Each structure stands twice: as C-alpha cells, then as structure tokens.
Amino acid sequence: MIDKKYERMLLRRRFCKRVIFMILVFGLSFYASVLMFGDLKSTNVLQLIDLNRCPACYGVTVCPELYSNQILLESNYGWTKMFNAKNIYYGFTKSNNRRVVLKKLSHSWELKEFDSKLCKTWGLKENCKPTDLLSVKNADKKIKNLVKYNLSHPETEPRKGLVYCPYPYSIYSLLQPVFNNQLTKYASDVINIWTMLSINPEPIIIQVLPKSKGWPVPAFGGVCGRLELVAYEGEPLSSLMHVAWHRKLKFASKILAAAMDFTFKHDRFRFYLMDWSIDNIVANERDEVTFIDLEDVIVIDKHISPQKDLPHWYKRYSREFTGHGFTFSIHDLCKHHLSDHNLWAACYVLAGQENPLLYPIPNEVNVSRPHFDVLLNECLNGQDRFRTMPKLQQVISDMLADEKIVGFGAVR
C-alpha cells in the first residue's frame, strides 16, 4: 500500500514538473517573439507597406501621407501584428483624429506564395526583381486572361481575384476610374491593376463604386505598397444583434436598398456580392450600413452584345438552390443579364437560417403586420423576388414611420 502511494506521488511530481517546464518554454518563446517584433507600443505604419515589392503592389497614392507621419496606428499595434491573421489594422489621422482601417488585403502566407510565383508568371528569370515587371510587354493581355480564367475555372481551380463576365474584352471600361480617367496608362499602373486583380480586387471595386456617389462601401483613402487605407465605418452587425429591434429594422432597410443598388444603380455594370456575412456589414452611430469586404464580387457587363454562347442572356436568372447557406452558380450568373442573387442574399441576412437579423419578430409586429413575415418568406423561397422586394421595402418604410414600432425596447 505504501509503495503504491509513493508511486502516485512520484507520478504527480513528474506531471507537475512537465507542466512547469511547458509553461517556461511557452513563456520564453513568447518573450522571444516580443523581442523580434520590437517595441509593442510602436506606431510606425511604414513597417506594413512593403513598398519594395512595387510595382507588384497596389499603388502609391497615399504614400506621401504615410511617410509624413499623417496616419498613425493605434497603440495596440504590436499585439495586433503578432496575432493578426487577416492583416487588418486600425489607426487614425493626425490632422482630425478620424479613425481609419489599414488592410494588407491578404494573409501573409498568401502574399509570400504570390511573390514566389511572380517571376515565373511573367516569364522572367528566376531571381527577377519586381521592377523588372516595368519592361514586360503583355500586361494588358495578362489582365484579360486573368479575369477570363477566373470565370472559366470557378469550381475546378481555386479562384483568386475578380470575376468579370461574360466577356473579358471590356474589362478596361470597368477599370477606367482606377486610372483616374487619364489618357495614358503607365506601365506601373497596369502592373498595379494586375496585382490587385490577382490578390484582392477590393481597392478597384471601391474606386469604381465611390462612397461619395452614395455607394454603401468604405470611403477610399488610397493605397501605398501593399496596404489599403479606408475610413472606419462602424461596428459589424454580428456585434449589434442585441440592439433595439427598430434599429435592426433600419439596418434591414439599408441592406435591401444596397441589394437593389448593387444590382441596378450603375449605368453599365451589375455587382453581385458573394459574401453577405454579418461580420462584413457594419453600421455606424447614424445607423448607416456599409459593406466592408469587397474581395468576392461578380461584375456583369450588362451592355454587351451577346454571342451564340449566351442563348439565354436576356432572360432573368433566379436562384434555383434550396437549403442552408449561400449557394449559387457563378456560371449561371454570368450567362444572364439580370439575376436576383443580391435580393435573395439580402433577405437571407434578414430572415435566413443562420443568425437572422430580424428574428424573432416582436409579437406586436406579427399581430399588426402579419404580412411582413410572409413577405420575408417569399423573398427567401418565392419565385419572383423582383416583385416581392419593393413590397418588402415599403412595409419596412411604413413600420419605421410608426411610433409604436420605433418605440420598442431592446429585443434579443
């Protein structure tokens, strides 16, 4: 009996020693990481820009402001840098203390992989420098082939970059605002465009759909190296699910309006957003809604002359899938001049199976407006969302003008 007790004591001691040893190793490793990253309170934004990778970067439009120390990172930058998988940082402008977001637009490992293939992609020598890209002759063709590839291989290969359809030849009509309508396209500008299309087209989309013209996207501050600067537009809806129901109704109204705008507002293109996560939709103190992640967008040129490969171009395409989640066909979206994808996706945010914004609907609303729940269901599962959407928008507008509903308290 004594031997067994002694044996248990030895086992406990060994276990405790191992735990203490593991804690010490972790602590030393963590301390070494801290030393590697330097001063955790540093606010030097220049550590992020990777300007040495230009012209295989996003551009240099906001570099003067960054180099003159007009944009400062928030004081927790060091910790953010160590545990920031998405490469998203927060800062503020020195002049008016306005909060901004700085985004590298990709994971670090993705950028390294991109760089490792850069020379081979352009047919340059293995140890080429990014500046060697300024002498390439086929950049325009590369851009057209890139968007063509993204359309032709949406499922069989990992899709990366912009989906532009149905034909790639008009891609430069979309890109014109990014070139600032200048008559001459410099080699560096074209390589910048190719890089954004390859890594993350968000800076392109934000410039094509500027916030100054009423689009629900972040205000664009510019780019420098591999860093995008945009205005901070609010908190994600996923963190606002506890607010009063009438505020959620305001969010809903703006989300439905955005779905219609992305589909109809632009005079030449339609923009189908592929990621309507409530983590990527934010709201500010004025209950204005902004879509902050514009990496995955399908752009349709609705002014093309359809060829024989588009026999159903002038027919409307309606969502055919049933079940959970955002399921859709890029191929089918690109074969029709109009789709209800954005309309369905907006209604899924409001009333779908995954953390719906407007559910549970207050009993008072169900009693006074029983048709509201019916319209939400029709938008999700009905056959004609283009007919349902205006009705749904009108009902929400009427409710927002009803003092009884606006006076509701917080609802889960």
**How many other CB atoms sit within 10 Å of the CB of residue 248?**
23
| 146 pLDDT tier (thresholds 50, 70, 90) | confident
Distance CA 160, CA 232 (A): 26
Give the pLDDT confidence score for residue 38 in this predicted structure: 40
Distance CA 181, CA 245 (A): 44
Check whether residue 48 and residue 107 sit in a common domain.
yes
Distance CA 14, CA 242 (A): 48
Note whether residue 243 is domain-resident: yes
- Given a cut of 90, whether residue 235 has pLDDT beyond it is yes
Give the pLDDT confidence score for residue 222 in this predicted structure: 96
| 384 pLDDT tier (thresholds 50, 70, 90) | very high
Give the pLDDT confidence score for residue 151 in this predicted structure: 61
Segment 32-56 mean pLDDT: 68
Three-point CA angle 109, 205, 142, nearest 5°: 65
What is the domain-level CATH number for residue 253?
1.10.510
Check whether residue 248 and residue 317 sit in a common domain.
yes
341 CB-near residues (< 8 Å, 6+ apart): 272, 319, 328, 333
Of all helices (H) and strands (E), which one includes residue 373? helix 370-381
Check whether residue 268 and residue 353 sit in a common domain.
yes
Give the pLDDT confidence score for residue 186 in this predicted structure: 83
- Lowest-pLDDT choice from 38-47, 307-316, 346-355, 370-379: 38-47
Give the chain's length. Answer: 412
Give the pLDDT confidence score for residue 150 in this predicted structure: 62
- Given a cut of 90, whether residue 337 has pLDDT beyond it is yes
- Residue with the bigger pLDDT between 10 and 327: it is 327
Distance CA 79, CA 129 (A): 32
- Given a cut of 60, whether residue 128 has pLDDT beyond it is yes
Give the pLDDT confidence score for residue 338 in this predicted structure: 96
| 313 pLDDT tier (thresholds 50, 70, 90) | very high
Check whether residue 255 and residue 384 sit in a common domain.
yes
Give the pLDDT confidence score for residue 346 in this predicted structure: 97
- Given a cut of 90, whether residue 234 has pLDDT beyond it is yes
- Lowest-pLDDT choice from 103-117, 168-182, 304-318: 168-182
Torsion angle defined by CA atoms of residues 195, 198, 203 and 207, in that order, rounded to the nearest 10 degrees: 90
Note whether residue 120 is domain-resident: yes
The rounded mean pLDDT for the chain is: 85
- Residue with the bigger pLDDT between 405 and 351: it is 351
Check whether residue 203 and residue 316 sit in a common domain.
no
Check whether residue 207 and residue 318 sit in a common domain.
no
Check whether residue 338 and residue 226 sit in a common domain.
no
* Residue-number span of the structural domain to which 220 is assigned: 42-136+178-230
Note whether residue 287 is domain-resident: yes
How does pLDDT run across 101-127, given as a tens digit for each residue?
999 999 999 999 999 999 999 999 988
Give the pLDDT confidence score for residue 406 in this predicted structure: 75
Looking at 165, 200, 230, which one is the last position of a domain? 230
Global pTM?
Answer: 0.85
Looking at 206, 230, 254, which one is the last position of a domain? 230
Note whether residue 166 is domain-resident: no
Note whether residue 199 is domain-resident: yes
- Given a cut of 80, whether residue 26 has pLDDT beyond it is no
| 326 pLDDT tier (thresholds 50, 70, 90) | low
Q: In what order do the strands lie in the sheet with 227-231?
A: 71-73, 88-93, 99-103, 227-231, 220-224
Note whether residue 317 is domain-resident: yes
Note whether residue 143 is domain-resident: no
Segment 166-192 mean pLDDT: 84
- Residue with the bigger pLDDT between 260 and 382: it is 260
Total domains in the chain come to 2
> Based on the number of CB atoms within 10 Å of its own CB, is 238 exposed (0-12), middle (13-18) or buried (19 or more)?
middle
Give the pLDDT confidence score for residue 44 in this predicted structure: 77
Distance CA 198, CA 46 (A): 23
Give the pLDDT confidence score for residue 145 in this predicted structure: 85
Segment 389-412 mean pLDDT: 81
Check whether residue 61 and residue 208 sit in a common domain.
yes
Nearest to 241 by CA among 256, 253, 251, 255: 251
Note whether residue 208 is domain-resident: yes
Give the pLDDT confidence score for residue 157 in this predicted structure: 47
| 22 pLDDT tier (thresholds 50, 70, 90) | low
Check whether residue 339 and residue 278 sit in a common domain.
yes
Check whether residue 194 and residue 303 sit in a common domain.
no
Check whether residue 255 and residue 395 sit in a common domain.
yes
- Given a cut of 90, whether residue 41 has pLDDT beyond it is no
Check whether residue 272 and residue 218 sit in a common domain.
no
